């Protein structure tokens, strides 16, 4: 059984690493904050002093970090994975970053004989905790086959989608659909509420029809309860949509609806709601209509 390194123990990374420990893997972790690393140590993991340290004692190194600069720093920077990783080891970046950044990091690792996969996830904290994440993987297929069983410990769906960077392209597509879906649900429920129709009953009436979705089922109960505890923070969805915009512009693909929802999220960030769950997007529409969608 391969030794696993795990760098980044945030909202998503901590439960993902815990699931690997629970599955019996030999896991060494690192985070810039001591508290989550100590929590993993109490659960049975080893701790490293840096990404370099983690990489030097493991065979599969997983990173789960906020954005492209953090991934580049943890893998390519001083004290980074690249300084400790051994040829033949595998790096799996499960962060949601720009596809071009995945390709850049992969090219640098390849110079050391180290293959890389980009394997972002979808499902948020609840699915990270119960190990039912959807994992979309880019990179060499033979490398994917070597770590598929490890990824399956953290997700119920593990899909190889193409060459390096393809995982993050797929994640950007996912994040566009999720953002637009939450915006549509928010508009609809605010309209219903303003018209005097129970938003809860609207949800019950339509969730089994064509408008129904996993996003609706997950986010409407939070909206109805006024519970915007993340989950998946608005500021992180802003990051994903910014990466989507940059990638789309590089490719010459207009994404006007994504741009609109990005600006709504930016407005909420300015209003101090950056750390709200992205279901809190409804608050923008509530402010415009001067009504609250609640049970």
The mean pLDDT value for 232-236 works out to 93
Query: What is the spatial distance between Cα 16 and Cα 142, in angstroms, rounded to a whole number?
Result: 23
Same domain, 219 and 125: no
> Is residue 295 domain-resident?
no
* Average confidence (pLDDT) over 180-196: 98
Q: Quick one: tokens of 120?
A: 């972002």
Give the residue carrying structure tokens 């129970």: 198
Residue range(s) defining the domain that contains residue 83: 4-164
Query: What pTM, to 2 d.p., does this model score?
Result: 0.92
- 101-128 pLDDT, tens digit each: 999 999 999 999 999 999 999 988 889 9
Q: Which amino acids are annotated catalytic? A: 171
Question: Looking at the structure, do residues 220 and 151 belong to the same domain, yes or no?
Answer: no
- 243 lies in some domain: yes
Peptide bond just before 231 cis, omega within 30 deg: yes
- At 295 the pLDDT is 81
Q: Whose structure tokens read 């109960």?
A: 221
pLDDT at 12: 95
The 10s digit of each residue's pLDDT in 193-230 is 999 999 999 999 999 999 999 999 999 999 999 999 98
């Amino acid at each position: 059984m391969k030794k696993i390194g795990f760098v980044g123990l945030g909202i998503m990374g901590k439960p993902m690493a815990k699931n690997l420990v629970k599955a019996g893997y030999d896991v060494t972790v690192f985070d810039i904050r001591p508290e989550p690393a100590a929590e993993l140590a109490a659960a049975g993991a080893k701790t490293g002093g840096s990404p370099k340290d983690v990489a030097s004692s493991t065979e599969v190194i997983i990173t789960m970090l906020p954005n492209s600069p953090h991934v580049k720093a943890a893998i390519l920077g001083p004290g980074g994975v690249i300084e400790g990783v051994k040829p033949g080891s595998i790096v799996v970046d499960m962060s949601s970053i720009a596809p071009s950044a995945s390709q850049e990091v992969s090219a640098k690792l390849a110079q050391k004989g180290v293959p890389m996969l980009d394997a972002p996830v979808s499902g948020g904290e609840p699915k990270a905790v119960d190990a039912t994440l959807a994992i979309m993987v880019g990179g060499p297929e033979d490398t994917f086959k070597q770590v598929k069983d490890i990824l399956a410990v953290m997700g119920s769906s593990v899909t190889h989608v193409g060459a390096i960077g393809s995982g993050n392209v797929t994640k950007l597509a996912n994040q566009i659909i999720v953002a637009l879906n939450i915006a549509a649900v928010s508009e609809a429920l605010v309209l219903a509420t303003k018209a005097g129709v129970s938003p809860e009953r609207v949800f019950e009436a339509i969730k089994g029809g064509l408008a129904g979705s996993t996003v609706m089922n997950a986010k409407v109960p939070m909206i109805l309860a006024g519970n915007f505890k993340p989950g998946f923070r608005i500021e992180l969805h802003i990051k994903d949509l910014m990466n989507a915009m940059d990638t789309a512009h590089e490719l010459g693909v207009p994404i006007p609806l994504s741009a609109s929802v990005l600006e709504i999220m930016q407005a909420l960030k300015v209003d101090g709601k950056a750390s709200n769950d992205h279901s809190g997007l409804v608050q923008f529409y509530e402010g415009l209509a001067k009504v609250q969608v609640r049970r």
